[in-house]
Amino acid sequence: MKIKVTLNREIKSIEINPDDYLSEVLRDNGCKSVKRGCDKSTCGACTVLVDDKPVLSCTYLAARAEGKSITTLEGEQEEAMKLGQLIVAEGGDQCGYCTPSLALTAIAMKRELVNPTEEEIIHYITGNLCRCSGYVAQLKGIKKYMGVE
Amino acid sequence: MIKIKNWVSPKTIEEAYQIANEKINNRILGGGAFLRLAHDLTIDTAVDLSLLELDEICETEQHFEIGAMTTLRQLETNKSLNDAFENIFRKSLENIVGVQLRNIATIGGTVFAKYGFSDLITALMVLETSLVFYKKGEIALSEYLKTPRAHKRDAKDILIKIKIMKQPIKCSFQMLRNSSSDFAIINAAVSKVDGRYKIVVGARPGVSNFALEAMSIINDKKEVNPENIEGQELILSAVSDNLIFGTNRFGSQSYRQAMSKVLVKRAIREVNHED
Amino acid sequence: MKIVNSAAPKKDGMKLATGAPVYTNDLAPKESLIIKLLRSEHHFARIKHIDTSKAEKVPGVACVLTYKDVPNKRFTRAGQTYPEPSPQDWKMLDEIVRYKGDEVAIVAATTEAIAIKAMKLIKVEYEVLEPVLDYKTATEHVSIVHPETDAFTHFEFGFKPEKNIASSYFVEVGDYEKGFEESDVILTRNYETQATHPAMMEPVTTYTYLDHTGRLVVVSSTQIPFHVRRMIANAMDLPMSQVRVIKPRIGGGFGCKQSSASEFFPALVTLKTGKPAKIFYTRKEIFLGTTRRHPFYFEVKIGATKDGIVKAFDVKATSDTGAYGEHAGTVMSACAEKIMAYYKTEGYRFDGKAVYTNHVSSGAYRGYGKTQGGFAIESIMNELAHELNMDPTELREKNIIHLGDHLRLGTSHVYDEDVTRQDTCELEYCLKRGREMIDWYNKYPSVKVSDTKVRGVGMALAIQGSGVLNIDSGSATIKLNSDGFFTLLISATDMGTGCDTILSQMAAESLQVPLDRINVYSADTDVTPYDDGSYASSSTYVTGTAVRKASDKMIETLKSEVAAILSVPCDQVTYSNGVFRTEESTLTLEALGGKLNRKQITVTDSHVCDKEAPPYKAGFVEVEIDLETGQIHVVDFVGVIDCGTPINTNLATVQAQGGMLQGIGMALYEESERATNGDEKNASFLTYKLPSRKDALITRVEFAPSYEPTGPYGAKSIGEIVINTASPAIMDAIFNATGIRVRKLPITPSKFYELLEQNRA
């Protein structure tokens, strides 16, 4: 079957199978920032935005995306640079495998939450697991990005 | 592995109903998050409900009506809903994996499947909640949970919306987890409307159920005062009377049974706590 | 210049953070055959019959391989310096399967779906054998996990397959018997640690292809490219010259990628089919088809005077190596060598054996035996303190070694005194500073918060290595380029730790150029120099020393080039900050690069670890316990670490924060659990829970002022030690809060509640 989506602001028609998950479809279409980490809806490494909301693309069937707007970090490079610099300055990038999805979640958070507290920030990004960093350095960078001290 | 042969996104509920019942292996999808929990599943035609505009939270004079396709994240962040029920939606949903999953999983999918581990069902049970099906019509949530699991050959009904009665309510949700984003080891909720309590314990690991004995003591025995320790102890001693607890890797049967009392106690204290 | 000991951002940071395609799976050719492995559904069985005919007929299937098609060779998947100490007991595919998950057949097809479909069509008839499921009784079991006669070891390491023993390690240090005789108090306690998983975020991934000359190229997310080259060549009967291994970015390793779990399968498929092939493990396969921390059972005896002078230890240890003996002996010996080495005693004895069972293999995981042993030793130290009615920090003060003292290594080797003398040892500083930071004297042993909540504090010390003495080696090649910038080639494998950046910082500091004048590349066995790889906390200390040596050599080489150009004697040329000077003239690096543009200046140097320069750590933890529910919440975790002088302060801090959080996971809930029938219960992130952001944030890490003279710019290691103190410190804090001693990890609310109830009864 075919789906018509807006992928990173570009209208695309993509041939898929009904049981394809969005993560693999996006990777096949060049969005390698979308990572496979757990296959069980838990690690957050596959996060993409569907109509501006962060979702697990490993759990979101591609067929569902019909008519929707999909954003991966490839489509948010300007924000990714801003946020990336803040995370990297703290040493929070580490192995980097979870970082693109964390960045994308934080970008969505910035658009969704107004003046969040530290607790609200942690809550929003809890679905992004990281095994390397212990989370503190990432949080420092993200708080700066959110304009929260 | 999940195999889906065909995909349809019907424009009307009737069409969805017809297609879902055309073949045994046709299947209605809610949020679809359950597919990741399944091991092997072959679906002939997946009936997607996302074009049916079932993803809204409406407030009428007497009810909140929540479309079955409303995501957990919508419930968690909806202000009027949370204001009306003392944030029980936010509190019962905020520890479920992450925002990204809660943007996919739906109230309909959760309730329909009667997940034992569900935190949301426990919260809904202490509210005046009913489910509206396309064919069966309206049924109380507690009644629905008691119905046996549908047989493969049974007609597949479609859950359209969840209705929650608006009432002056005090309520509390409690849970225990090994780590913050894990499944609940056990959860409990208590509500109080006009001095009458509902007490529910879930993730036992079976699906949420009323602690009927405790409820009858707290509601029917005039001499028992839930606001003092003696009264609470009487109530708590009966919490597990009609409930079955089990052991799985999150916690033992005895632990769950003991914790059902602790959580219910905390919830009773919270609903009686005047701010 | 101050490029070392600064917070330089990671060189690859921005590309990682912005989602660039840099990992193995991102780089694999689209046309790669996809490999799936059929895995055993029995704990222990012999394949009677295997029929692949139906699978082979599925359109799109390139090959289906069984034990009949693979090289008939035993070797080990453990990435260790040759000759490897691990028993050579693994075969790519074997007629006997030794755990539920062991590989039975390789399927290669054009898509993953086809491979899975074909895999399901393979018919296997098994003769099911009685499995060995309990490691504590494995040596007495009637079943022998490795009955084959062709398993062997390169040298004696206690390999006794007929007793299900993969490796054993026995050592006596000093006069422990005298120590016990002189003791007023002797305690005997048992401790148990569980199987935890490295759980790096990037799955195990490899792809392979034949290059334009027909050589086999292996691109893999591995910590050990040179070991992989050797192992693949050996396994496939290829000359080593016909194998090239490339490591792109690695999405975490923690030891999991120090074994070669995925490389052999695509390599064989590519050799058989001539086509590129890729394998990408699912998370379930990572749990079932790679390695995890060896579970350990310890029987520990400690003797001390009533004044708290520890006189002797006696430790018996049994570890579960699972189906294969990967890292079995060395995890045991790593444990034996160091865990008692920083206490001054008359002596100690360690008697350990790693046994085979029909479980998933154990292997390398951050801490490598010292985490397990440290839990036992630090716990019994805390128990001793209690027995003597003594503050556990003060007990430590009476017994730890100091600068200038010698490590009492648990080994029968006799080392030169220069090797064991501690030129840095700030244990006492770490202890005192940690005690101050946690506000020990106001909080010890516990503070009541409410009727149902109590807080307790606890502590532990730790040690690790900085590379393995006389074994770990690293090299660095430095090239001068025509514009005066340098290329640093290394084969240490940055798996997120930042060693590319750290080693570049050292090169920049030594070569006196800004960090951006150093390009770093790692690793490609065709291009970059030999290194054992990144494990055993060796990259900063061992490869770093090679970088320093090579940098110094480069400056000397360039000085002689300058001398030749300017026709002056070499000793008249000086160099500082990118400028060469003689009495008459100056020459910048840029200018020199230009002048030498038709002559390649390249230097290489290597370093073999020749000194015991271990890092030290004190960990202090405060927990809050809910007495009604048994929930244990870590409210504060302070780490004070002597890792020498950190080269990159940010990266060292983040290593500590990440490692300490992994430690909390191990102490409180992480465990690969098994059902009574031996089945793995939680082979997914849905059920094997990693600590999330809400579980604990470790903000208080400090470094002891320290400078290791034998390390590059004063550095020792940090990567592993950081995981070590959490378990013993948390268990002690729990004891101090409740009087309940937990000797078996992990302690979940459900389990702790039971102990609370027993205590109340």
Cα(B76)–Cα(B237) distance, integer angstroms = 33
pLDDT at residue B273 greater than cutoff 60: yes
C348 plus C281 within the same structural domain: no
Q: Which of residues 228-267 of B touch A (CB under 8 A)?
A: none
Cis-peptide into C746, omega within 30 deg:
yes
**Which of C271, C289, C307 lies at the terminal end of a domain, its last residue?**
C289
In a domain, C119, yes or no: yes
| pLDDT of res. C113 | 94
| pLDDT of res. C2 | 86
- Give which of C705, C711, C577, C502 is closest to C7, Cα–Cα: C502
- Provide the angle, in degrees to the nearest 10, between the axes of the packed helices C726-738 and C749-760: 30
Cα(C277)–Cα(C298) distance, integer angstroms = 44
Best mutation target, B36, B40, B99, B177, to test chain A (most A CBs within 10 A): B99
In a domain, C580, yes or no: yes
pLDDT at residue B171 greater than cutoff 80: yes
In a domain, C575, yes or no: yes
pTM tops 0.95, yes or no:
yes
| pLDDT of res. C751 | 96
C391 plus C500 within the same structural domain: no
Torsion of CA C498, C501, C507, C512, to 10 degrees: -140
Contact B71, B104 (CB under 8 A): yes
Closest chain A C-alpha to C759 CA, distance in angstroms: 34
> Letter for the amino acid at C281?
Y
Under 8 Å CB-to-CB from B118, ≥6 apart: which residues? B110, B111, B202, B203, B207, B208
| pLDDT of res. B124 | 98
- Provide the angle, in degrees to the nearest 10, between the axes of the packed helices C749-760 and B253-271: 90
Closest chain B C-alpha to C66 CA, distance in angstroms: 23
* Cβ pair B100:A44 closer than 8 A: yes
Residue B262 sits at the chain C interface (C-beta within 8 Å) = yes
C631 plus C755 within the same structural domain: yes
CATH of the domain at C87: 3.90.1170.50
Q: Which domain holds residue C599?
A: 468-608
- Assign B274 a pLDDT band (cuts: 50, 70, 90): low
Question: What's the number of domains chain C is made of?
Answer: 4
Question: What's the number of domains chain B is made of?
Answer: 3
In a domain, C630, yes or no: yes
* Cβ pair B99:A124 closer than 8 A: yes
Buried b (16+ CB within 10 A) or exposed e, B28-60: bbbbbbbbbeeeeeebebbbbbbbbebbebeee
Q: Which domain holds residue A91?
A: 75-146
Token pair belonging to C369: 């035996």
CATH of the domain at A14: 3.10.20.30
> Cα dist. C296→C165, C169, C321 in Å?
14, 14, 9
**Which of C226, C254, C289 lies at the terminal end of a domain, its last residue?**
C289
* Cβ pair C201:A91 closer than 8 A: no
A10 plus A69 within the same structural domain: yes
Buried b (16+ CB within 10 A) or exposed e, C558-583: bbebbbebbeeeeeebebeebebebe
Q: Which of residues 120-139 of A touch B (CB under 8 A)?
A: 123-128
Token pair belonging to B265: 């106690």
Cis-peptide into C705, omega within 30 deg:
no
**Which of A74, A95, A128 lies at the terminal end of a domain, its last residue?**
A74
Contact C31, C85 (CB under 8 A): no
Q: How many other C-beta atoms can be found within 10 angstroms of the C-beta atom of residue C379?
A: 25
Q: Which residues of B touch A131 (CB under 8 A)?
A: none
**Which of A48, A74, A100 lies at the terminal end of a domain, its last residue?**
A74
> pLDDT of B212-270, one tens digit each?
999 999 999 988 998 888 999 999 999 999 999 999 988 999 999 999 999 999 999 99
| pLDDT of res. B40 | 85
* Cβ pair B3:A44 closer than 8 A: no
| pLDDT of res. B34 | 87
Cα(B243)–Cα(B237) distance, integer angstroms = 12
Cβ-nearest to A40 among C10, C16, C684: C684
| pLDDT of res. A132 | 98
Token pair belonging to B51: 């074009």
B235 plus B191 within the same structural domain: yes
φ/ψ of residue C546, rounded to 5: -65, -40
Token pair belonging to C502: 């750290």
Contact C588, C579 (CB under 8 A): yes
Contact B44, B25 (CB under 8 A): yes
| pLDDT of res. C30 | 95
> Cα dist. B12→B107, B114, B157 in Å?
20, 25, 14
Closest chain B C-alpha to C695 CA, distance in angstroms: 6
Question: What's the number of domains chain A is made of?
Answer: 2
* Cβ pair C754:B254 closer than 8 A: yes
Token pair belonging to B144: 């629905």
Cis-peptide into C20, omega within 30 deg:
no
The rounded mean pLDDT for chain C is 97
For the residues B56-76, what does the mean pLDDT come to? Answer: 98
* Cβ pair C694:A123 closer than 8 A: yes
pLDDT at residue B2 greater than cutoff 90: no
CATH of the domain at B130: 3.30.465.10
Residue C182 sits at the chain B interface (C-beta within 8 Å) = no
Contact A57, A22 (CB under 8 A): yes
Best mutation target, C15, C30, C197, C201, to test chain A (most A CBs within 10 A): C201
> Letter for the amino acid at C98?
R
| pLDDT of res. C1 | 58
Cβ-nearest to C201 among A41, A85, A98: A98
Question: Which residue is it, tokens 């107004």?
Answer: A114
Neighbours of chain A (3+ CB pairs under 8 A): B, C
> pLDDT of A30-64, one tens digit each?
999 999 999 899 999 999 999 999 999 999 999 99
A29 plus A6 within the same structural domain: yes
A35 plus A84 within the same structural domain: no
C727 plus C675 within the same structural domain: yes
Q: Which residues of A touch B50 (CB under 8 A)?
A: 64
C314 plus C221 within the same structural domain: no
Is C186 exposed, middle or buried, given 0-12, 13-18 or 19+ CB atoms closer than 10 A?
A: middle
Q: Which residues of C touch B40 (CB under 8 A)?
A: none
C219 plus C336 within the same structural domain: no
* Cβ pair C754:B252 closer than 8 A: yes
Q: Which domain holds residue B199?
A: 170-271
**Which of A53, A74, A95 lies at the terminal end of a domain, its last residue?**
A74
Residue C240 sits at the chain A interface (C-beta within 8 Å) = no
C570 plus C502 within the same structural domain: yes
Cα(A19)–Cα(A35) distance, integer angstroms = 18
Q: Which of residues 57-86 of B touch A (CB under 8 A)?
A: 73
Residue C665 sits at the chain B interface (C-beta within 8 Å) = yes
* Cβ pair A95:C495 closer than 8 A: yes
B219 plus B141 within the same structural domain: no
Q: Which residues of C touch A80 (CB under 8 A)?
A: 17-19
| Residue ranges of chain C whose pLDDT lies below 50 | none
Question: Which residue is it, tokens 């102890």?
Answer: B233
Q: How many other C-beta atoms can be found within 10 angstroms of the C-beta atom of residue C145?
A: 28
Mean pLDDT by 10 residues, chain A (149 residues): 98 97 97 96 97 97 97 98 98 97 98 96 97 98 94
CATH of the domain at B226: 3.30.390.50
C325 plus C371 within the same structural domain: yes
Q: How many other C-beta atoms can be found within 10 angstroms of the C-beta atom of residue C412?
A: 9
φ/ψ of residue B72, rounded to 5: -60, -35
C309 plus C326 within the same structural domain: yes
Share of chain B above pLDDT 90, in %: 86
Cβ-nearest to C201 among A43, A84, A103: A43
Cα(C18)–Cα(A107) distance, integer angstroms = 12
- Provide the angle, in degrees to the nearest 10, between the axes of the packed helices C370-387 and C726-738: 30
Q: How many other C-beta atoms can be found within 10 angstroms of the C-beta atom of residue C142?
A: 6
Q: How many other C-beta atoms can be found within 10 angstroms of the C-beta atom of residue B142?
A: 16
In a domain, C404, yes or no: no
Buried b (16+ CB within 10 A) or exposed e, C712-727: bbbbbbbbbbbbbbbb
Is C304 exposed, middle or buried, given 0-12, 13-18 or 19+ CB atoms closer than 10 A?
A: buried
Cβ-nearest to B36 among A1, A53, A59: A59
Q: How many other C-beta atoms can be found within 10 angstroms of the C-beta atom of residue C241?
A: 10
Cα(B173)–Cα(B76) distance, integer angstroms = 13
> Letter for the amino acid at C514?
P
* Cβ pair C18:A38 closer than 8 A: no
A27 plus A89 within the same structural domain: no
pLDDT at residue B275 greater than cutoff 60: no
Residue B99 sits at the chain A interface (C-beta within 8 Å) = yes
Cα B219 versus chain centre, distance: 23
Contact C707, C355 (CB under 8 A): no
Find the DSSP H helices in C18-127: 24-27, 53-57, 112-120
Closest chain C C-alpha to A53 CA, distance in angstroms: 19
Q: Which of residues 54-113 of A touch B (CB under 8 A)?
A: 54-56, 58-61, 63-64, 66, 105
C454 plus C473 within the same structural domain: no
- Give which of C759, C452, C760, C754 is closest to C628, Cα–Cα: C452
* Cβ pair B255:C669 closer than 8 A: no
Cβ-nearest to C748 among B178, B181, B262: B178
